[in-house]
Amino acid sequence: MKKRVSLFLIIALVLSLALVGCAPKEEPKAEEKKPEPAPAPEKVFVNIATGGTAGTYFPLGGGMADIWNKNIPGMNATAESTGASVANVNMLRDGKVEVIFVQNDVAYYAATGTEIFSGTNNNGKYDGIRGLTTLYPETVQIVTLANKGIETLVDLKGKKVAVGAPGSGTEANARQILEVAGLTYEDITEQYLSFAEAAQNLKDGNIDAAFITAGHPTAAVQDIGAQNDIKIVSIPSDIAKNLIQKYPFYTQVTIPAGTYTKIATDSETVAVMAMLAVDAKLDTELAYNLLKTMYGNTDRMKASHANGAMITKDSGKDGMSLDLHPGAEKFFNE
């Protein structure tokens, strides 16, 4: 009996071991793969050539850089203070910057190789310059002190007059306006000064008047008016019309009374258009994104300068003097 029980137990043990051996083995769990982090966006460097720190281009350029840095992945945009329009064209041509502020008349001269870009002047014709957008009217402001006795353009004769930085758009404006008014640099003592330099020299009594082409109100003019009684010399309608006939980029504008401290009457003058230009080689999608983000954040532009309120997509081709960059065409055609 005991032998049978033992035999039964042995058989049961063998069967149980056999069943265990036949049971399916659990596969080891594969380690869960963690998602790989997204690659960092490629850095894109955009240098913006603006103008003097006392003008309008510089604060607006700073606002643009801020918008682009915050809204375009990988963007590293910086605004540089420069000698403004003409200097900016040559910086763009030399590949030192990617975006420039420029007057529409100066941009046209560069594209056509005329006026200040004729022959070998300022390196001559620039075939690769393209328009990105126009921004706002740039007003030609002929500023003097109330005690200088300068009432009209003719009164500038024999005076020390700041005509803008050497080779600047302002200098071209000064020369053209004087020409139509029957004056040349031989009739004045021209001083090649930036906005900030002109403001300081006017306050110090070293000059009698200054040409300043910028959106009004302009910081340099406000700076002069903060300590002195100033006057804006008007450009009368007949001279303005002759100027426009010869140089069609100009338009007649009025600086409203109260724009500057103690100027209680309107000032009649002329203006060109501020614009942004790029090189034809700039990436199409980048150019498109620059415009899309700028026009999508116009509040930031308004905060940069009062003229930011005039920057709208609807007026972005007004006064455009260049062929548009393909990225700009794509944006405006949407």
Question: Taking residues 108-114, what's their average pLDDT?
Answer: 94
> What's the distance, Cα to Cα, between the start and end of the chain in Å?
100
* 239 residue type, one letter: I
User: Is residue 209 assigned to a domain?
Assistant: yes
Number of domains in the chain: 1
pLDDT in tens, 144-194: 999 999 999 999 999 999 999 887 889 989 999 999 999 999 999 999 998
pLDDT tens digits, 98-107: 999 999 999 9
Residue 315 lies in a domain: yes
Q: Residue 261 belongs to a domain with what CATH number?
A: 3.40.190.10
CA atoms within 13 A on the CB side of 259: 21
Q: What is the pLDDT of residue 12?
A: 52
Q: At 271, list the tokens.
A: 């203006």
Split at pLDDT 50, 70, 90, the class of 4 is low
Q: Is position 139 within any domain?
A: yes
**30 falls within a domain:** no
Q: Which is more confident, 260 or 55?
A: 260
Domain assignment of residue 18, yes or no: no
Q: State the pLDDT at residue 322.
A: 94
In a domain, 32, yes or no: no
* pTM (two decimals): 0.72
Residue 17, pLDDT > 90, answer no
Measured CA to CA, the distance from residue 155 to residue 182 in angstroms comes to 12
**DSSP character string of 206-250:** S-SEEEEEESSS-HHHHHHHHHS-EEEPP--HHHHHHHHHHSTT-
Q: What is the average per-residue pLDDT within 122-140?
A: 95
Count other C-beta atoms under 10 Å from residue 45's C-beta.
10
Q: Which domain holds residue 267?
A: 44-333
User: Would residue 257 count as lying in a domain?
Assistant: yes
pLDDT of residue 35: 66
- Is residue 20 pLDDT above 80, yes or no? no
Model pLDDT for residues 211-244, shown as the tens digit of each residue: 999 888 888 899 899 989 999 999 999 999 999 8
- Least Cα distance to 187 among 177, 195, 196 occurs for 177
- Asked whether residue 165 is assigned to any structural domain, the reply reads yes
Tokens in use for 298? 């116009």
Q: Residue range 32-36: average pLDDT?
A: 64
User: Cα separation of 140 and 149, whole Å?
Assistant: 20
